A and B are shown apart, each in its own frame.
Chain A
Amino acid sequence: MSAVPFLERAPIELRDWFVQLLPGPLQWLTHHLITVVAILAVFGLFFAFTTVAERKLLGRLQNRLGPNRAGVPKFSILPWHLRHKLWGLTQPFADAVKALTKEDIVPTAADKVLHFLAPVIIVGFSLMGFAVLPFGRLLIPVELDAALLYFFAAGAATELAIFMAGWSSHNKYSLLAAMRALAQLISYELPLILSVVPIILVTGTLSTSAIVHAQGFWTFGLLPHWFVFTPWGAAGFVIFLVAALAESNRSPFDLPEAESELIAGHLTEYSGFKYALFFMAEYFGLTALSGLGVTLFLGGWQAPCAFLEFIPSYLWFMGKLVGMIMFFIWVRGTLLRLRIDQLTRLSWKFLVPLALLNLGNAAFWVLSAHWAGPLQLVRWAVSLAVIVIPFVVMGRSITTGYGPRSYRYAP
């Protein structure tokens, strides 16, 4: 324990110090409660600032300023008054107050119980994924042997919640959109899980912390051995990113709530805080999936270079997580929304075959692990060819007849 630097140990030590103040029977409970509260606080704030970052970044991408007006309320009783607007950073808190104070409208024809349960279930289950993510060298809420299986099992219930929301609203548009959302989620669950399987094949474990430890090596102390820097890992990471975008209903796959086509999808009949809960669950799901992507492909809490290890591991994890989220926002500002037939075709005809090929690729990588010298080059070349050639061929076949659109302005 003493070999680990103090900053690394600090959160754990703080928790243990607090737990020891309490009487014996309460210690076990408090130990876990503190973990839960820490996750809720950190990722609740992370969610709040993700929304403001998203709005500001999207604003910049569209040549606007984004929200910059919400400052601190005027405390006129104070002798001084903070005149700075804080760059609009208090916007999420204003939004929270607005969502909480809005009227909660439940349609008379709605199934009241299910209408209430849907947002509760979706937030609850989207938070459960955080339990198995290793946030730092010592910071992992629950050390499970079957952590990856747990993560995907926890995500399975969100589909049920979307169905409940759509059906209980007793609204045609809600139900149609819920069915569409389910078709999308089921289609993309397959490439998502298939893109993760090569990692399990190579590391031989389902435990997230063991997977992070398997990536903790460097060549010359500079080049990290993250899985994204292998041919099968890079392909898996791209498939994972696309599937994660679709799983968390993000643009360009945000059909379930396409404003112009289906009003707001299964959220049509939700207002006020219940709507905010769905919104929250979406961001929690995105954050959890990004965290999983960081853990599996980007080395988790490992530093990119050996000499940078003095920075605490949880800061590395959060940095990579922020990077992933920024990437998702960038994608949202750049790409156009897909149509539902294009969406399902992309999954079943492109991503699933590629992910299956990638599984074979990873098997080849494991079998050729003992190759050395010039054979190492052959190994990389074969592994690259196995994934690049089908990508180009299938990509060509799926896009034939879809030339670049030409736009003409009216004369």
Chain B
Amino acid sequence: MTLALILIAVLMLGSAATAMLLRNLIHSALLLILSWAGVAAFYLWAGAEFVAFAQVLVYVGAISMVVLFAVLLTRQNRIVDVLIEPATKARALAGLFVGAGMAALLSVAVCYTKFPALADAAPQTSVKEIGLVLMRQHGGALLIVGVILTVALLGATILAATEAKRQPEDKP
């Protein structure tokens, strides 16, 4: 079991690291997707079936498309490789600072969180129970997430629709 975890971790971190090092944006995006798939594999390893499938459906299925479309639609020049280097020292420092801050915050959060179920065996939950918990105890949070996503969708539609009005399609 530990061997599988190590393999998954190497896959996840390795593909993420390679994604940052590559110059080809599409290759980077695809490797990033591989890394997300690794996260799903980790959830499967941990026995969280539902979260794993949801991860694949949302990240590999949907967010990957957003990333790839964004890369393809925003690239104006024909050159395949882009130079990725910080323009100024200040920017590089800012990036380093933000990254270090984020890492510190996350490690503090991980170190100081108490895991009450650590000693117990992993609880056997069915998808139905997860659904009931989501809908009853966390119904409010679910609604808020839904509203935020709807607003984002409407915003995107408005942004896309306000460009010059297209010719009405030719009648057959």
Contact across chains for B49 and A160 when beta carbons are under 8 A apart? no
CA distance A127 to B117 in the complex (A): 38
Say yes or no for A156: interface residue by CB 8 A criterion: yes
Contact across chains for B127 and A156 when beta carbons are under 8 A apart? no
Question: Of all chain B residues, which has the CB nearest A193?
Answer: B57
Contact across chains for B172 and A156 when beta carbons are under 8 A apart? no
Q: How would residues 58 to 91 of chain B score, 1 for a CB under 8 Å from any chain A CB and 0 otherwise? A: 0011101100110010000000000000000000
Contact across chains for B33 and A160 when beta carbons are under 8 A apart? yes
Return B158 CB to nearest CB of chain A, in Å: 15
Contact across chains for B127 and A145 when beta carbons are under 8 A apart? yes
CA distance A179 to B72 in the complex (A): 10
Contact across chains for A204 and B128 when beta carbons are under 8 A apart? yes
Return A348 CB to nearest CB of chain B, in Å: 10
* Chain A residues closer than 8 Å to B64, beta-carbon distance: 160
Question: Of all chain A residues, which has the CB nearest B166?
Answer: A341
Interface residue SS majority, chain B: helix
Q: Which of A114, A153, A204, A401 contacts B61 (CB 8 A)?
A: A153
Contact across chains for A144 and B33 when beta carbons are under 8 A apart? no
Known A146-B49, A146-B50, A205-B128: A160·B169 in contact at CB below 8 Å = no
Q: Count chain A residues whose beta carbon lies closer than 8 angstroms to a beta carbon of B.
A: 29
Contact across chains for A145 and B61 when beta carbons are under 8 A apart? no
Question: Of all chain A residues, which has the CB nearest B50?
Answer: A146
Known A146-B127, A164-B30, A206-B127: A157·B53 in contact at CB below 8 Å = no
CA distance A204 to B126 in the complex (A): 12
Contact across chains for A159 and B65 when beta carbons are under 8 A apart? yes
* Chain B residues closer than 8 Å to A159, beta-carbon distance: 61, 65
Say yes or no for B9: interface residue by CB 8 A criterion: no
Say yes or no for B134: interface residue by CB 8 A criterion: no
Say yes or no for A152: interface residue by CB 8 A criterion: yes
Return A206 CB to nearest CB of chain B, in Å: 5
Return A27 CB to nearest CB of chain B, in Å: 20
Say yes or no for A167: interface residue by CB 8 A criterion: yes
Q: How would residues 183 to 194 of chain A score, 1 for a CB under 8 Å from any chain B CB and 0 otherwise? A: 000100100000
Contacting residues of chain A (146-174) with chain B, CB-CB under 8 angstroms? 146, 149-150, 152-157, 159-160, 163-164, 167
Return A17 CB to nearest CB of chain B, in Å: 31
* Chain B residues closer than 8 Å to A189, beta-carbon distance: 61
Contact across chains for A153 and B128 when beta carbons are under 8 A apart? no
* Chain B residues closer than 8 Å to A145, beta-carbon distance: 49-50, 126-127
CA distance A401 to B168 in the complex (A): 13
Say yes or no for B26: interface residue by CB 8 A criterion: yes
Say yes or no for B20: interface residue by CB 8 A criterion: no
Contact across chains for B65 and A186 when beta carbons are under 8 A apart? yes
Return B35 CB to nearest CB of chain A, in Å: 14
CA distance A53 to B33 in the complex (A): 38
CA distance A91 to B68 in the complex (A): 40
Say yes or no for A405: interface residue by CB 8 A criterion: yes
* Chain A residues closer than 8 Å to B128, beta-carbon distance: 204-205
Question: Of all chain A residues, which has the CB nearest B61?
Answer: A156
Say yes or no for A99: interface residue by CB 8 A criterion: no
Say yes or no for B136: interface residue by CB 8 A criterion: no
CA distance A205 to B131 in the complex (A): 10
Contact across chains for B57 and A114 when beta carbons are under 8 A apart? no
Q: Which of A114, A179, A405 contacts B30 (CB 8 A)?
A: A114
Contacting residues of chain A (236-273) with chain B, CB-CB under 8 angstroms? none
CA distance A281 to B128 in the complex (A): 32
Say yes or no for B56: interface residue by CB 8 A criterion: yes
Contact across chains for B127 and A402 when beta carbons are under 8 A apart? no
Say yes or no for B114: interface residue by CB 8 A criterion: no
Contacting residues of chain B (26-44) with chain A, CB-CB under 8 angstroms? 26, 30, 33
CA distance A189 to B169 in the complex (A): 25
Contact across chains for B172 and A402 when beta carbons are under 8 A apart? yes
Say yes or no for A139: interface residue by CB 8 A criterion: no
Contact across chains for B56 and A156 when beta carbons are under 8 A apart? yes
Say yes or no for B165: interface residue by CB 8 A criterion: no
Interchain Cβ contacts under 8 Å between A and B, 23 examples: A144-B49, A146-B53, A146-B127, A149-B50, A149-B53, A149-B54, A150-B49, A150-B53, A152-B61, A153-B56, A153-B61, A156-B56, A156-B60, A156-B62, A157-B60, A157-B61, A159-B65, A160-B33, A163-B65, A164-B30, A179-B69, A179-B72, A402-B171
Add 7 more A-B contacts to A153-B60, A159-B65, A186-B62 (CB < 8 A). A145-B49, A156-B56, A160-B30, A175-B72, A182-B69, A186-B65, A341-B169
List residues of B whose CB falls within 8 A of some A CB.
26, 30, 33, 49-50, 53-54, 56-57, 60-62, 64-65, 68-69, 72, 126-128, 169, 171-172
Please list the 10 inter-chain residue pairs (A to B) with the smallest Cβ-Cβ separation, ordered nearest first.
A156-B61, A153-B56, A149-B53, A153-B53, A153-B57, A146-B127, A145-B127, A146-B50, A150-B53, A206-B127
